[in-house]
Amino acid sequence: MIREPIAMIVCADLANQVRGKGIPAAALAGRGRHGVGWVPTNHLITCFNTIPEGPYGSLGDLRLVPDLATEVRVDLDDGRPPEHFVLGDLRTLAGDPWVCCPRSALAAALRDLEDEAGLRIRAAFEHEFWCEPEAEGPWSGFSLAGYRRNASFGETLLAALTAAGVEPESFLPEYGRDQYEVTIAPARGLRAADESVIVCELTRAVASRLGRRVSFSPVVNDDVGNGLHLHLSLTDRDGVPCTYDADAPAQLHPEAGAFFAGVRDHLPEYLALTASSALSYDRLVPHKWSAAWNNLAVRDREASLRICPLAATPGADPAEQMNVEFRAADATGNPYLQLAAIARAGLAGIRAGAATPTPTEGDLGLLDPAALADLGVERLPTSLAAALHRLEASEAVSRWFPRELIDVFLVHKRGELAVVAGKERDEVRALYTGVY
Ligand code: GLU
Ligand code: MG
């Protein structure tokens, strides 16, 4: 059969669904550079493919303009077309960033952080996901048997990532039944968020070619959630790490301490941007090794901000390794908005000259709200509706992002909530498992 190779120009939208249009691959570097037509209302398409009543209706036109540096072309050598896509920005017809473009919002946040504080973010998005097993049988967390159930999937995935220019660090069977995790090397700023999209899409691509179902939904079964953990560190403009200070509280350089104080303090206000589905809040509960309070703690997997361990082996440089893991996120959030909110909150902490938060210790579930308040900590919003309410009311967030972006996000997410309202837990889980 004759074939014309196609490249998809795509963007991750407010539902963190990756949508776009295909063009002949040969045209990408030429006319493809100017992008394809896009429609504002597309931003309102929920993960369930409904469109809540919003401000744009049938009106308006945008361009989805590819950033050719993000091009992914991976031939999986299975006789089917390669995975060929390019990530893009949403622009007005005049070529300016559209106010609701998540990728442009991140670029702006990173620019401000660098201009004002001289800092850059280095990040690795670490994804957990559920993968339909090749064979049935009992599950044993982290076991070789668990790995073996999806060994060919894992090998193909790592090869696909490498071919896409993303550096895989590990593939592992996680604790939850049929749960796996893939970790990658950190990357700078915008590229880190691009890689989050690339990792999820290549995982889905490999699964679909192997006839296997995968899901990044935050809760697939009763075991544990699928987390998205963002490993964050700061560098100066030259890429020199500046997160670590051996003598400072929590071994965080005071400026990094101020950054993470802002990230912590504002978290309840922007949580809806990092954990963006109704189901996200079934994961963000105590004793699930996710995040239930806006606390910073040392090597504690129940903290929203976990100071990661430093290897003390000879030659291991603590400044290079030092990173803080943000755990109150999942793959239903848009990675650009996740990192943009973190960058904005961190910059707010730096502007305020905030002190490094005192790391919490022990089970915060044993403390009452007053004791938590003494620690500067609060229980995170416990539902998407509550998180949206905090987002809507936040003065800080309305300074960080264009109001239109937040308003459209609220309409979109409330439309998503309307779809799951009144449904049984199992049905809601099945719906999200299917779309993420
Ligand atoms: N599955 C846990 C989560 O929902 C994380 C487990 C881990 O620390 O890797 O975030
Ligand atoms: Mg894990």
pLDDT of residue 379: 96
Residue 231 lies in a domain: yes
Q: Work out which ligand 1 atom sits closest to the CA atom of 176.
A: 1
Q: Work out which ligand 1 atom sits closest to the CA atom of 126.
A: 9
Residue 74 lies in a domain: no
327 close to ligand 1 (CB < 6 Angstrom): yes
Q: What's 161's domain CATH number?
A: 3.30.590.10
126 close to ligand 1 (CB < 6 Angstrom): no
Q: At what angle do helices 102-117 and 335-351 cross, to 10 degrees?
A: 20
Listed as own residue / partner, the contacts of 207-212 with beta carbons closer than 8 Å and 24 or more positions apart are 207/131, 207/132, 207/153, 209/76, 209/78, 209/80, 209/156, 210/152, 210/153, 210/156, 212/131, 212/132, 212/134, 212/150, 212/153
pTM of the model: 0.98
**Rounded Cα distance, 10 and 13, in Å:** 9
128 close to ligand 1 (CB < 6 Angstrom): yes
Q: Work out which ligand 1 atom sits closest to the CA atom of 229.
A: 10
Q: Work out which ligand 1 atom sits closest to the CA atom of 224.
A: 1
Residue 297 lies in a domain: yes
In sequence order, the 6+-apart residues with CB closer than 8 A to the CB of 57 are 41
Q: Work out which ligand 1 atom sits closest to the CA atom of 291.
A: 10
Residue 108 lies in a domain: yes
Q: How far is the CA of 401 from the centre of ligand 2 (A)?
A: 31
* Cα 19 versus chain centre, distance: 16
Residue 44 lies in a domain: no
Total structural domains within the chain: 1
Show the domain range for 430.
104-435
Residue 80 lies in a domain: no
Give residue-wise pLDDT tens across range 258-288: 999 999 999 999 999 999 999 999 999 999 9
Q: Are 319 and 243 in contact (CB under 8 A)?
A: yes
Radius of gyration of the chain measured on its C-alpha atoms: 21
Sign of CA dihedral 340, 344, 347, 353: negative
Complete DSSP assignment for 95-125: SSBPTT-HHHHHHHHHHHHHHHH-EEEEEEE
289 close to ligand 1 (CB < 6 Angstrom): yes
> Ligand 1, atom 6: nearest CA belongs to which residue?
289
pLDDT of residue 223: 74
Residue 9 lies in a domain: no
Going from the C-alpha of 180 to that of each of 8, 137, 140, the distances in angstroms are 28, 16, 12
pLDDT of residue 133: 81
Q: How far is the CA of 401 from the centre of ligand 1 (A)?
A: 29
Residue 386 lies in a domain: yes
pLDDT of residue 314: 87
> Which regions in the chain score pLDDT beneath 50?
none
Helix ranges (DSSP H) in 254-327: 254-274, 280-283, 318-321
Nearest CA among 233, 236, 229 for reference residue 244: 233
Q: Give the pair of three-digit tokens for residue 302.
A: 């129940």
Q: How far is the CA of 181 from the centre of ligand 2 (A)?
A: 6
pLDDT of residue 360: 96
225 close to ligand 1 (CB < 6 Angstrom): yes
Q: How far is the CA of 235 from the centre of ligand 2 (A)?
A: 25
**Rounded Cα distance, 277 and 272, in Å:** 8
pLDDT of residue 339: 98
In sequence order, the 6+-apart residues with CB closer than 8 A to the CB of 284 are 275, 290, 291, 292, 328, 380, 382
301 close to ligand 1 (CB < 6 Angstrom): yes
